[in-house]
């Protein structure tokens, strides 16, 4: 087990947003946390890395590799974020400063978390770009010169640069078209196998859950209403809300899915 939530509740003032959430993720899993907008799944994911605003209070335990993250200082958490825990966000553009090149972003990330010299950092940065399908020319490019899909690839390169144990991917395809989104998830699945990381996948899109998840937890109004293996949830959902979500989602036809798979090979 790599991550364990033990009766986690989150408040903002008097309002309880997350209520006694329990779930655990095994090493190497692709774990999907599913729910509609406003269900609390992104707030819960940000609580793991202590990324919530100061007016939010977290109760319970969040154990990463058996260490309670809630008990760590901000300085200790800065060390863990990047090396052990990393994020890819829906707003991938927010990952980048407009007037710094992609290479500068990659090197700065390494300077914060490592002790490589300038030459070594550049070599590792270019290798990271190649690993996500971007050639060396992107090292000197500015964020505004990249397409949405290219920027998301660059954000994956940064997130996986130090081979974290746990990657939290929060609605990472929402701002992309369906083909670009498919390519990004295929890339992420490939990278997961290469570095052996665990993925906490935050989404509301059941089509992606069907294709990539190992296990699923369903969140509604800050509460986990159902959890289990992918096939059990998809084939035999128990909670009315889970059934509603599944039945409301169109299933990709074989022709379209095959076409997307072919595109992903390009």
* Residue 259: per-residue pLDDT: 45
| Higher pLDDT, residue 175 or 205 | 205
What is the mean pLDDT of the segment spanning 144-173?
Answer: 93
Per-residue pLDDT at 39:
92
Average pLDDT of span 9-37: 94
Q: State the Cα–Cα distance between residues 107 and 122, nearest whole angstrom.
A: 7
- 181, burial (CB in 10 Å: exposed 0-12, middle 13-18, buried 19+): buried
Residues 6+ apart with CB under 8 A from 38: none
Can you tell me which residue has the tokens 């989404």? 203
pLDDT (average), residues 102-122? 89
Neighbours of 234 (CB within 10 A): 16
Average pLDDT, the chain: 89
The CATH number that applies at residue 179 is: 3.40.50.300
Taking only the tens place, the pLDDT of each residue in 238-260 is: 999 999 998 887 654 444 344 44
Of 29, 45, 33, the C-alpha closest to 17 is: 45
Mean predicted confidence (pLDDT) in 14-42: 93
pTM of the model: 0.89
The total of structural domains in the chain comes to 1
Residue percentage of the chain with pLDDT more than 70: 93
- Concatenating the DSSP letter of every residue in the chain gives --EEEEEEEEEETTEEEEEEEEEEE-TT-EEEEE--TTSSHHHHHHHHTT-S-TTEEEEEEEEETTEEGGGS-HHHHHHHHHHTEEEE-S-GGGGS-TTS-HHHHHHHHHHHH----HHHHHHHHHHHHHHTT--GGGGG--GGGS-HHHHHHHHHHHHTTT--SEEEEESTTTTS-HHHHHHHHHHHHHHHHHHT-EEEEEES-HHHHHHH-SEEEEEETTEEEEEEEHHHHHHS--SHHHHHHHHTSPPPPHHHHHHHHHHHT-
Q: Which of 21-35, 79-93, 221-235, 248-262 has the lowest mean pLDDT?
A: 248-262
What would the mean pLDDT of 167-189 be, rounded to a whole number? 90
Domain limits for position 177: 3-264
Instruction: Choose the weakest-confidence range: 63-67, 133-137, 171-175.
Output: 171-175
């Amino acid at each position: 087990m790599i991550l364990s939530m033990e009766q986690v509740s989150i408040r903002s003032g008097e309002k309880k947003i997350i209520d006694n959430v329990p779930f655990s993720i095994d090493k190497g899993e692709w774990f999907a946390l599913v729910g509609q907008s406003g269900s609390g799944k992104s707030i819960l994911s940000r609580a793991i890395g202590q990324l919530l605003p100061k007016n939010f209070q977290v109760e319970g335990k969040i154990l990463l590799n058996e260490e309670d993250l809630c008990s760590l200082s901000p300085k200790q958490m800065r060390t863990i974020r990047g090396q052990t825990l990393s994020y890819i966000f829906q707003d991938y553009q927010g990952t980048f400063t407009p007037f710094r090149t992609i290479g500068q972003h990659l090197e700065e990330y390494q300077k914060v978390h490592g002790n490589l010299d300038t030459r070594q950092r550049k070599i590792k940065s270019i290798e990271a770009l190649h690993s996500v399908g971007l050639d060396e020319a992107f090292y000197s490019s500015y964020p505004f010169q990249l397409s949405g899909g290219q920027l998301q690839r660059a954000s994956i390169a940064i997130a996986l640069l130090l081979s974290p144990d746990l990657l939290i991917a929060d609605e990472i395809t929402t701002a992309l078209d369906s083909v670009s989104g498919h390519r990004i998830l295929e890339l992420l699945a490939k990278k997961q196998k290469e570095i052996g990381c665990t993925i906490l996948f935050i989404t509301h899109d059941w089509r992606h859950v069907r294709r990539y998840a190992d296990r699923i937890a369903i969140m509604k109004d800050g509460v986990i209403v159902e959890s289990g293996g992918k096939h059990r949830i998809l084939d035999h959902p128990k909670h009315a809300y889970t059934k509603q979500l599944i039945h409301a989602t169109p299933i990709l036809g074989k022709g379209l899915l095959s076409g997307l798979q072919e595109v992903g090979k390009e």
